[in-house]
Structures are given as structure tokens and as C-alpha cells.
Amino acid sequence: DTEVTQTPKHLVMGMTNKKSLKCEQHMGHRAMYWYKQKAKKPPELMFVYSYEKLSINESVPSRFSPECPNSSLLNLHLHALQPEDSALYLCASSLQFVPGNPGELFFGEGSRLTVL
Amino acid sequence: QKEVEQDPGPLSVPEGAIVSLNCTYSNSAFQYFMWYRQYSRKGPELLMYTYSSGNKEDGRFTAQVDKSSKYISLFIRDSQPSDSATYLCAMSGSARQLTFGSGTQLTVLP
């Protein structure tokens, strides 16, 4: 099983809503990532978890709150988002997190978020 | 100046053509160089992974890295319509996280 599964595939929410994105992998990977990708732009790193601990937060606004309940699961909690937060949110995993040497990242298909 | 520059295209070629995709970069700390392929509405998938300078071949794909010129390339031989996608270069090194190029949109026409 070399899949990273993300749910939901599509999400529409208002600026006052609270919602969550979920990500799951069963490859035994110990590093998990959240990326944000706007249309026709490259992915931008948001968070990195290594061994279930937050290793990197790329100065992401607090309206995005990551959570890693166990080594297979990664959540992104969303609250009071802005329309400019509309994007494709990609989850990825890798065997380990080694700063500067990412190894192979396995990406999910993404959750397409629209904020009204 | 961006750390990684990539021509966004779009690039259209006939089936069977040799495709050349390129990126330049400015940070000499980069040591690991990757090419990802991203189909429309899908996540990126790793195509090639190279360390330092040199060539690497995998089937129809060849990756080249020239660190002295800060220039990397991906060649696709005998291109197929199924190769139509956006190709992202990415690089990292010296504790720097993965930095992506902006992507080149490729269409291979049957």
C-alpha cells in the first residue's frame, strides 16, 4: 500500500465555519506534511510532523491548526478562514524527516477547499 | 530573484518527440534534486531523484544536474500523450526544505 488518502476531496465552507481535513497513510512513514497549492503555483510547505511531533511550522496563521493523533493520521483543523485560503491542500508522507534531505515524498490527491 | 526558476510553458509537442524541461537555481546549498509529475487535479508524484551533479536514467526519463551552472534538466524520450502533465522541479540541501519550481505544463499531442 503506497497510498496517502485524503478526505474530503472537496470542501466548501463559510468564513465562520469550523472544518477539518484528514490524511492517512499505512506505509510506516514517520514524517507527514501539509502543503498548500494555489492554481498554477507550486506546493508551499505549511507544516511538518516527525514522529508525531510538530517539527516545522512555516509561519502559518493560527486559523490553520494541525494535529497528528498517531503515526498514520494527520489532521488540519480549519477555523475562521478567509476567501484567499481557497486552495488545494496536499498531505504528504516520507520515511523520515531529515532537514535538507527530504527523500521521496508520497503525496495524496489533495483536498480542494473553497472558502466563501 | 526566485531561488528556483522554471519556465511555466505551456509546452506542446507531437507524440514521439524528445522533451527537454529545465530549471535554474541560485542557492549553492542545494544538493538533492527532484522532478515531480502532477496530473490535473492530482497530487505530485516523484519521477526522478538525484544527488549532486551527474546524469540518471530511468526508462524514457533522464535527469541531468550541472551544479557548476546551477542548472537541472529532465529529458523525456519518445513522449506519449500520457506524459501530458505539469512537471515540477524541486531541490533541497543543507537543512533547507524542499523548494519547488513553478512547474512546466506539458501537452503531448497524439
pLDDT tens column, A16-32: 899 999 999 999 999 99
Q: Tell me what the mean pLDDT of segment B45-50 comes to.
A: 93
Asked if A109's CB is within 8 angstroms of B42's CB, the reply is yes
Q: Which of A102, A104, A108 sits opposite B92 (nearest CB)?
A: A102
Summarize the confidence of residues B50-73 as an average pLDDT: 93
pLDDT at A4: 96
Contacting B residues, span 50-79, partner chain A, CB-CB under 8 Å: none
Instruction: Provide the number of CB pairs (under 8 Å) joining chain A to chain B.
Output: 58
Residue A78's region, left for phi above 0, alpha for psi from -120 to 50, else beta, is: beta
Residue B10: is the preceding peptide bond cis (ω within 30°)?
yes
Under 8 Å CB-to-CB from A112, ≥6 apart: which residues? Answer: A9, A10, A11, A87, A88, A89, B41
Which of B32, B43, B103 lies closest to A90 in CB terms?
Answer: B43
What's the mean pLDDT when you consider all of chain B? 92
For residues B79-86, average pLDDT: 97
Q: How many Å is the Cα radius of gyration of chain A?
A: 13
CA distance B3 to chain A (A): 13
User: What does the pLDDT average to over A32-60?
Assistant: 94
Mean pLDDT of the B95-105 span: 86
CA distance A105 to A102: 7
Percent of chain A's residues with pLDDT above 90: 84
Sign of CA dihedral A53, A59, A62, A64: negative
A75 contacts: CB under 8 Å, gap ≥ 6: A20, A21, A22, A23, A66, A67, A68, A69
Which residues from chain A sit within 8 angstroms of residue B43, using beta carbons? 4, 90, 92, 107-110
Sign of CA dihedral A44, A39, A109, B104: negative
